[in-house]
Amino acid sequence: MRDYVIKRISQGILLVIVVSILVFAMLDLMPGDPINIMTDRKVSEEVKEQLRIEYHLNLPLHQRYVIWVKDMLHGNFGKSIKSKLPVMDMMKARLPVTLKLTLTALLVELVIAVPIGLLAAYKKDSIFDRIVMDVSLFFTAVPSYWIAVVFMLLFAVKLRVLPLSGFSTPLHYVLPVASLVVSGIASTIRMTKTEVLDVLREKYVLTAYAKGLKKKSVLVKHVLRNALILVTIMFFMSVPWVISGAVIIENIFTIPGMGQMLTSGILNQDFPIVQACVFILAILTVVCNLICDIITAVLDPRIRISLGGEN
Amino acid sequence: MEDTILRVEHLSVDYKIKAGYLSAVNDVSFSIDRGKVLALVGESGCGKSTVAHTIMRLSIDHNERIGGNIFFEGQDLTKISEAEMEKVRGKHIGMIFQNPLDSLNPVYRSGSQVAEALRLDGLSKHEARERVIQLYRDVQIPNPEERIEAFPHELSGGMRQRVMIAMMLARHPQLLIADEPTTALDVTVEAQVLNIMKEMCDKEGASVLLITHNFGIVAEIADRIGIMYAGELVEEGEVHEIFRNPVHPYSQALLAALPKIKKSEGTIQTIEGTVPRILEKKPECRFANRCPYADETCRFSSPEAKFIAPDHMVRCHKR
């Protein structure tokens, strides 16, 4: 198990390095000169040249990469071209906001979706199952921004029970979290249902019944326990996705999160910001994959054995 | 008069499929006496496993229609509620499945799965553990103290089936249903596992309903044998009687199909054709299309069960 974790961590580090090179190189391929965007047309060539030197844009790509990595290792992601603020400080303010938003949404989603999926599988083809499946099909088809706008109209404008936008109090998070949950919950319900249906067909479920266990114990101890292995995997795999996918919701509710920072960074060719954001997302992906692998190994003894030998 | 523990009367099971109902079991009646072993034998798909699952009321899809009665200790299992059935399963009737490889939950230690059954009877964790170790010893699992901590995939097929036997006999059921318990095992392991199962049942005084297609096993441990064909019980009687004097053409063909060492011929006897899927119940003998003796009567009327000796039932027009 320990060897396995060490192996996975080193693989992860390698992956982060590769991604960082890609991110760095690809931004360089983007058309347009960032210096032209940040300066007015009247600014003289000398001043522009000086700015280039300040941002190391006069150096070849590989040298710039080395400087970037060195700075980054010292906790310095450079300065934003647009706002002139250190990217690190901007990130520090925004990353927690995004994490708070998306992790809450994911947790709420799981807590609601898993029991519904379990019940829908257990009562397959019942009215409950059919309603759940139809409704979830509807919400899969509807984009999250539409739901967000409808929620805003309904709860903030018409009923005036919740704040329209912002992020200062927990109440402000209700609508954004709800929009994220509603748009993502359908797939989780469907996935849980499919997985539970698969497990229900396993022989050991019959064994559990045969030894005299009650339905509820069979469902929770034997069916759900095994179905949750896959659900956990999907959960952790979707964390980085949700963070980058929360962009739209963040924009609609004017929540200053990572997503908003990334989109405006791309639009302004603010390359230090884009590099930092993509890099952080890459690290998050790698970390989530790692957590996911370790948790699966803990949940499923078969994987544990095939990995390390000892448990 | 001997004490009957299980009496199945006119049991029929039809599975609902798109085209209508598929008759898996039709008008099957038999009974098992206390402490005895009845073997149900037949080709794949003849409905013998369906009989077993129906007695335990273990249905996955809930798409079947059940007719007839199953009396266990005087109680009709087809009539009682699911909650009452939960009290019968494990406590009064245990069941061992065909494939020990996937009959145990892969994420729990084998011993804890046996203990889970014992805990239903109110044993404390510690008592359950002690009892599981004892049970492992009874089914001859070496190093029981260590093996209870093993996950199913760390045990061989034979060991897993021993765990299943321990689990299913843990609560002292009066009847054990063994659905092809050794089909997935090596021949050498097969004999060991069977002997352990038989010994345990003898010790507990439990009756056994053994589902198999292996006549060797039947000869070894069964008291009575029922031969099934296409969902019907075609012949039933005492083991020696059936082996010596098979009356139904299907039983005769089945016994003739056993490879015999003495014979110098290079070919193995087979029965032409396959078991039909019965979609529509028609008045006919279900074996007619493969039977060498079949005539018009067989094709247009169903044979009734009749007793050619007080203890020997057969379902055939020609006998």
| DSSP 8-state code for residue B153 | G
Query: In one letter, which amino acid is A68?
Result: W
CB within 8 Å: B58 and A210: yes
Answer yes or no: are the C-beta atoms of B5 and B32 closer than 8 Å: yes
pLDDT at site A311: 39
Asked, for residue A93, whether it belongs to a domain, the answer is no
Instruction: Tell me the pLDDT band of B211, cut-offs 50, 70 and 90.
Output: very high
Using CA atoms, how far apart are residues A279 and B45, in angstroms rounded to an integer? 59
Q: Which residue of A has its CA nearest to B171?
A: A211
**Chain B residues lying within 8 Å of A223, measured CB to CB:** none
Task: Name the closest residue on chain A to residue B95, using Cα atoms.
Answer: A210
- Spell out the domains of chain B, with CATH numbers in brackets: 4-260+268-315 (3.40.50.300)
Cα–Cα distance measured from residue B47 to residue B53, given in angstroms and rounded to the nearest whole number: 10
Confidence at A310, pLDDT banded by 50, 70, 90: very low
Token representation of residue A302: 């078969």
Q: Which of A216, A233, A256 is the last residue of a domain?
A: A256
Could you tell me which chain B residue has the CA closest to the CA of A298? B107
Question: Domain boundary residue among A256, A275, A303?
Answer: A256
- Please write the tens of the pLDDT for every residue from A269-297: 788 888 888 888 888 888 888 888 888 88
Band of pLDDT at residue A307, cut at 50, 70 and 90: low
Query: Which pLDDT value is given to residue B166?
Result: 93
Tokens of B302: 């169903």
Question: What pLDDT is recorded for position A309?
Answer: 44
Could you give the percent of chain B with pLDDT greater than 70?
A: 97
> Residue B224 — φ and ψ, nearest 5°?
-130, 160
A120 in the same domain as A37:
no
Do the Cβ atoms of A210 and B120 come within 8 Å? no
Residues A139 and A207 in one domain: yes
Query: Min CA distance, B99 vs chain A (Å)?
Result: 8
The percentage of residues in chain A with a pLDDT greater than 70, rounded to a whole number, is: 96
Per the prediction, chain B carries an average pLDDT of 89
Give chain B positions within 8 Å (CB) of A299.
Answer: 107
How many structural domains comprise chain A? Answer: 2
pLDDT at B159: 92
* Gap from A301 CA to chain B (nearest CA, Å): 6
Strand B20-33 to strand B4-17: parallel, antiparallel, or no bridges (unpaired)?
antiparallel
- Chain A residue numbers with beta carbons less than 8 Å from the beta carbon of B154 are 305
Whether residue A311 is contained in a domain is answered as no
Q: What percent of chain A has pLDDT over 90?
A: 14
Across A10-14, average pLDDT: 88
Q: DSSP alpha helices (H): ranges in chain A? A: 2-29, 34-38, 45-54, 61-73, 87-122, 127-141, 144-151, 170-200, 203-210, 215-217, 225-245, 247-252, 258-267, 271-299, 301-308
What pLDDT is stored for residue B270 in this prediction? 80
Residues in chain B: 319
Question: Would the CB atoms of B97 and A202 count as touching at under 8 Å?
Answer: no
- For the CA atoms of A204, A209, A213, A215, the dihedral, rounded to the nearest 10 degrees, stands at 100
**Higher-scoring residue by pLDDT: A200, A306:** A200
Distance between CA B201 and CA B221 in Å, rounded? Answer: 11
Most B CBs within 10 A among A196, A199, A203, A211, hence the mutation to make, goes to A211
Predicted confidence (pLDDT) at residue B152 exceeds the cutoff of 60: yes
A192 domain residue, yes or no:
yes
Residues A119 and A43 in one domain: no
Could you tell me if A118 and A36 lie in one domain? no
In a domain? residue A81: no
A77: confidence class by pLDDT, cuts 50, 70, 90: confident
**pLDDT tens figures, B84-138:** 999 999 999 999 988 877 899 999 999 999 999 999 999 999 999 999 999 999 9
> Looking at the domain assignment, is residue A290 inside a domain?
no
Q: From the centroid of its chain, how far is CA B52?
A: 6
Alpha carbon B49 to its chain's center:
6
Q: How far is B281 from chain A, CA to nearest CA, in Å? A: 28
Q: For residue A202, which residues of chain B lie inside 8 Å, CB to CB?
A: 102
Residue B263 banded pLDDT, cuts 50, 70, 90: low
Mean local confidence (pLDDT), A254-264: 84
pLDDT surpasses 50 at A139: yes
Residue B125 CB neighbours (<10 A) = 11
Amino acid at B43: E
Same domain, A69 and A138: no
Q: Does A305 touch chain B (CB under 8 A)?
A: yes
Q: HSE-up of A138 (CA within 13 Å, CB side)? A: 8
Domain span at residue A226 reads 102-256
User: Which residue of chain A comes nearest to B83, CA vs CA?
Assistant: A214
Tens of pLDDT, residue by residue over B264-313, are 566 777 887 777 777 777 788 989 888 888 888 888 888 988 899 888 99
Whether residues B153 and A209 touch (CB distance < 8 A) is answered with no
Q: Cα dist. A49→A36, A39, A59 in Å?
A: 11, 11, 12
Contact B23, B281 (CB under 8 A): yes
Angle between helices A225-245 and A170-200 (to 10 degrees): 140
A221 contact residues in B (CB cutoff 8 A):
116
The last residue of one of the domains, among A73, A94, A115, is A73
Does A305 reside within a domain? no
Asked if residue A184 and residue A58 are part of one domain, the reply reads: no
pLDDT-derived band at B261, boundaries 50, 70, 90: low
b/e A17-43 (16+ beta carbons within 10 angstroms → b)? eebbeebbeebeeeeeebbeebeeeee
pLDDT band of B262, cuts 50, 70, 90: low
CB contact under 8 A, A207 and B104: yes
Q: Is residue A136 domain-shared with residue A213, that is, in the same domain?
A: yes
Task: Answer yes or no: is A264 within a domain.
Answer: no
* Domain identity same for A65 and A168: no
Q: Helices marked H in chain B — which ranges?
A: 48-56, 82-88, 110-119, 125-138, 144-147, 157-169, 187-204, 215-221, 239-244, 249-256, 296-300
Read off the pLDDT of residues A215-248 as tens digits, 9 standing for 90 and up: 889 988 999 888 888 888 888 888 877 777 677 8
**C-alpha neighbours within 13 Å on the C-beta side of residue B225:** 26
Judge if A56 and A111 occupy the same domain.
no
Pair of tokens at residue B319: 């006998």
Same domain for A251 and A109: yes
Mean pLDDT across chain A, nearest whole number?
Answer: 84
| Chain-chain contact of B107 with A226 (C-beta, under 8 angstroms) | yes
* A86 located within any domain: no
How much is the average pLDDT of A173-180? Answer: 89
- The three-class DSSP label of residue A301 is helix
A214 chain-B contacts, CB cut-off 8 A: 86
Taking the CA of residue A223 and the nearest CA in chain B, the distance in Å comes to 9
A52 & A13 share domain: yes
CB-based contact B106 A221, cutoff 8 Å: no
Q: Residues A54, A131: one domain?
A: no
